[in-house]
Copies of this chain bind each other. A is one copy, B any other.
Amino acid sequence: MEIEQTLKSEDCVSYDEEVIEHHGHSDWSSSNINERPVAVVYPRSTEEVSLIAQICSAHDVPMVPFGAGSSVEGNFLAPYSGICIDFSYMDKIVAFHPEDMDVVVQPGVNWVDLNEQIRHAGLFAPLDPSPTAQIGGMVSTNCSGTNAMRYGTMKDWVVNLTVVLADGSVIKTRRRPRKTSAGYNLTSLFVGAEGTLGMVTEVTLKLAPIPQDTSVAVVSFKDIREAASAASSIIRSGIQLAALELMDDLQMQVINRHGSAAVRKRTWDEGPTLFMKFSGTTDAIQSDIQRVSELIKPHNAGQFHFAKTKQDEQDLWAARKEALFTMVSIRKEGTVLWSTDVAVPLSRLADIIDVSKKDCSQLGIFASVIGHVGDGNFHVAMFYDPNDAAQKARVSKVVHDMMDRALEMEGTVSGEHAIGLGKKDCLVDELGIETIDLMRTLKRSVDPKWLLNPGKVFDLPS
């Protein structure tokens, strides 16, 4: 095909069925479809991505960018088939500027690898989504993770983007200032656009200094409402935690029974539990821990554990970080994961978690709540049998009820997973058709043939 002749490097295109299956189906998503891309293309440079776009544009072929494949809303599926563009080979750190506290990377760089490579300079990229995630996908979904409470979301860490537009033209959104008020914020327009406006081929990321010290504290509560209320008090106090996470009773049980050796060193209370990460100077952390222990008292808190050693700290945090993977590893044969999230204004978090948790527990399946409660965001993880249509419908109803509830509370149907295929209808409910139409107008102006990741975020106008 024309792309092979143009790119010329070995392995630049694959038609292998397994490869196509891997790029057209997701084990992490409840939005799978039957369509598949016709081929997977592996560009090595911005220029090659531009050539691919020129060819696809000339032949009206949809282009679907692909990163690590860890997104959960079907963000990289190919409902209109077309070409999947896999950024695996664009995995280089282009330039590291420790003195400017930024780094220029290609989209295929994994964030854990990146942080390993720059650690010697005392800097890090502070967002922590799935450990497999790559920068390109993190940009395109405006991801976050446990550190968002202190550090915000992906949009707050992108200095500039190099982007290939639908017709193959290449633009750079900015130079490298950490702050600017010059012209439209194109950077933030592409962040979270899920590749529907352009394909990101280079990213300059702000970096943060690795904190002088960190610590972790863990405390359980008698019910999830008390836990969420305690979280609220902490947030309102202005104490700047690095993370504030909630795990429910089911997850604490999983950890006690199936967690790694490190987290099974102690027997955890099996009530809803807050995990707190502190960061800053050693003195400030001591003072913050003291204040937090006072703040949670009125909420009938259980015993307040805080890390006394670095090993202790790692063990405590490991319990939070391995929760999802532990759940996946012990799931019942034949069941699959439905992972979803919403976010609401802070004062409504206890209400929505409480009701959603009750809904989940009536499903008769493993369904638990985990929350980035520091920013009003929480997840539900459920394992259901995809061949049991009635069960799937019940799970789907719980998810949709939760989203409706989030909207009634002036929240959002997606806190950090973006929209993909899975939440398009809900986005219309969230924003109204006038706002969706404005998004469509913008889309049409830069991609008039609707070739870039078509069918995601919102539907093509009929």
- Residues of A with Cβ closer than 8 Å to B? 97, 99-102, 122, 141-144, 148, 152-153, 155-156, 165, 169-186, 188-189, 191-193, 197, 208-212, 232, 235-240, 280-281, 283-284, 286-288, 291, 343-348, 375-377, 406-407, 410-419, 423, 427, 430-432, 434-436, 438-439, 441-442, 444-446, 457-458
The reply to whether A170 and B434 form a contact with Cβ atoms under 8 Å apart is yes
Q: Which of B122, B238, B346 contacts A208 (CB 8 A)?
A: B238
Least Cβ distance of A377 to chain B in Å?
5
15 pairs across A/B with beta carbons < 8 Å? Answer: A100-B347, A101-B235, A142-B181, A165-B438, A171-B438, A175-B430, A177-B411, A183-B192, A183-B457, A184-B439, A185-B192, A209-B238, A210-B238, A211-B238, A283-B284
CB nearest neighbor in B for A444: B445
Rounded to whole angstroms, the CA-CA distance of A148 and B156 in the bound complex is: 13
Rounded to whole angstroms, the CA-CA distance of A417 and B170 in the bound complex is: 28
The reply to whether A236 and B185 form a contact with Cβ atoms under 8 Å apart is no
CB nearest neighbor in B for A239: B281
A141-B181, A181-B153 known; A446 vs B457 contact (CB < 8 Å): no
The reply to whether A97 and B347 form a contact with Cβ atoms under 8 Å apart is yes
Task: Given contact pairs A169-B434, A209-B238, enumerate 18 new A-B contacts (beta carbons under 8 Å).
Answer: A99-B232, A142-B181, A144-B181, A155-B185, A155-B188, A175-B411, A177-B411, A179-B377, A180-B414, A181-B415, A181-B416, A182-B413, A183-B430, A184-B442, A185-B188, A189-B189, A209-B237, A280-B284
CB nearest neighbor in B for A197: B184
Chain B residues within an 8 Å CB radius of A417: 181
CB nearest neighbor in B for A198: B438
Chain B residues within an 8 Å CB radius of A97: 345, 347
Instruction: Pick the most buried of A175, A181, A189, A347: most chain B CB atoms within 10 A of its CB.
Output: A181
Rounded to whole angstroms, the CA-CA distance of A224 and B188 in the bound complex is: 34
Instruction: Pick the most buried of A122, A178, A186, A192: most chain B CB atoms within 10 A of its CB.
Output: A178
Q: Which of B180, B191, B439 contacts A186 (CB 8 A)?
A: B439
Chain B residues within an 8 Å CB radius of A415: 177, 179-181
The reply to whether A414 and B181 form a contact with Cβ atoms under 8 Å apart is yes
Least Cβ distance of A108 to chain B in Å?
21
Q: Which 10 pairs show the lowest CB-CB distances between chains A and B?
A: A209-B238, A445-B445, A188-B188, A99-B347, A284-B284, A100-B345, A176-B410, A180-B412, A177-B343, A177-B412
The reply to whether A412 and B345 form a contact with Cβ atoms under 8 Å apart is no
Chain B residues within an 8 Å CB radius of A178: 343, 345-346, 375-376
Q: Which of B148, B287, B375 contacts A284 (CB 8 A)?
A: B287
